[in-house]
Structure 1
Amino acid sequence: MPISAHTVEVLLNQLIVRFLRDKLKLQDEAISQIKSPLLEFPKEASFGDISTTLALKLSALLRRSPRDISDGLCTYLKEEISASGLKDTIEKIDIAGGGFVNFYFSKEYLCSLLKEIVNGKNYFAPLDKPEKKVLVEFVSANPTGPLSVAHGRQAAVGDSLSNILKALGFDVSREYYLNDEGNQINILGNSIALRLRELSGENIPFPEDHYQGGYIIDLARELIDKPQTRSKNPEELKEYCREYGVKRILEIIKKELEDFGVKFDSWYSQKSLGASGKIEKSIAFLKEKGLIYEREGAVWFASTRFG
């Protein structure tokens, strides 16, 4: 079983402190004045998996160049690590810039950690789990067409983030916010209705700002023999097509996400939110607190009051 990343950090810290005491002859009081942390995660992968800017922090105190200090630290750590439990974990140590010392994990160590994760070990979870609820809302594509590659990326990132938060002990809820009303939904309904009329033999122009995809024709074909589409005026037909289109596309989206291995705890409908009266109630509450105002024909939230 590989040592944990936390243990690696602890052991490296111990070696650095020993370097300060044994090689640089610093007393504990002086060591305690060194700005923490001793180890950091580099901002760029090319600078290793862990790094330390200790040489830069000590330069003024010791009146030595950072490069000179980092040379000594690097030499010391290479010798100590080769004879310690970290010898199979740290593959390389190098110096970058004016005194950064970078540590690189071995591929064998990284692969062993991945095996631990795949085997379901609670390897990286903290001892004290936070008791907090977290709502992760992701994908939330309008139900006006099938998902795209970009939505697939959003699904992968959102689900991975949710899994990480859950592994850390958070009470995670995955939400898909369903934008099932508004102008785009109206255009969807009209697009299906127009294609349905075309399939029924009518010769009508199809607007450029409507949905052009072949899936619209497929949805219209599903409706052509339904009795609900007969003897309806254009507005009634458009409304029926809108409701049917949202329902069917949502079924397609759910199936695509299920095939992708992503499941949501809730599908929150914007339409149901509007009908619930919660929006008006919230606006009334904020207005009572003096946190919203009207200007230029719109309602504004006074966010600048909070910085």
Structure 2
Amino acid sequence: MGGMSDVVTGEAVPLELRLAKFPSRTIAIVIDLAVYFLCGLALFGLVSAVIPDVDQALATALGLLAVIVLLVALPTTIESLSRGKSLGKLALGLRVVRDDGGPIRTRHALVRALSGVFADFVITSGVGAVFCSLLNERGKRIGDVLAGTVVIRERIPAPSGIPATPPQLAEWAAGLELSRLPNELALSARSYLSRYHQLAPGVRDPLGAQLADQVAAVVSPPPPDGVPAWAYLAAVLNERGRRESVRLAAQHPAQQQDAPGQPQQRPPAPPAPPTQEAAPSPRGTAAADGTAGDEHRDQAEQRRNGSGFAPPA
């Protein structure tokens, strides 16, 4: 109990989840009970202020309603809104999830709260929850068994993404031909490496071998003998990322040379030298005068014809 557990997700991929240990669950329950006790004091104080003004039957109904709200409605609402986290679980880094690893819904929280009242804590004084947790291989209490849920630990050191390229593969990776590697396959390999420590060994190794074969079909040269699938994929993806960074740096060299707070200012261009307008030549003046005279004759001819349209010659 408190170790790893294979949980099959909706995609039929077994994941290894860290089950919550019995001491941490106990401390979380104690914190929750303390919070519920304080809420109960406030609630019963409110009910006591109302009961003297009503008859005995209504007072009993109000008291029963307060108990239901405190022991059932309040835990159900908290776990439903927080997706499996009560205040105690939040303090201890725990969460209630479904058996397939997904977030719980209102019906799961309601079953856990009702069974906590009738089987786990109130009627059996906590003995039922303790014995069931000790006997169940996944540390479930009666409410978890009935609701199909399990309590896991969330505060787990997360993997750092893609592992570094092994030193013995650095020289080989520098000579890879990566132009045929599609983006979709690279993303699949990246996702596999980021979830490497979460996958069960029975699925992790075959999946890694399959991805490595697909990458090796479009990347050359082939890896050296005896290289694990994860190391091969890490070397390919790291080299691909390095080349992409070099390419982007070559496309924007000016942005990298500029100081962060002092943008470079280019000196203003010198003013252009003044130009002297050439005097018109007599021949050009005569040609212009001749052209103007022809235009005057054409306009006079058009006025005589009474129309602006000139027939073709």
In the superposition, the TM-score normalised over structure 2's length comes to: 0.24
- Which one has a bigger Cα radius of gyration? 2
Larger relative contact order (CA 8 Å, sep ≥ 6): 2
Larger proportion of helix = 2
Structure with the largest fraction of strand? 1
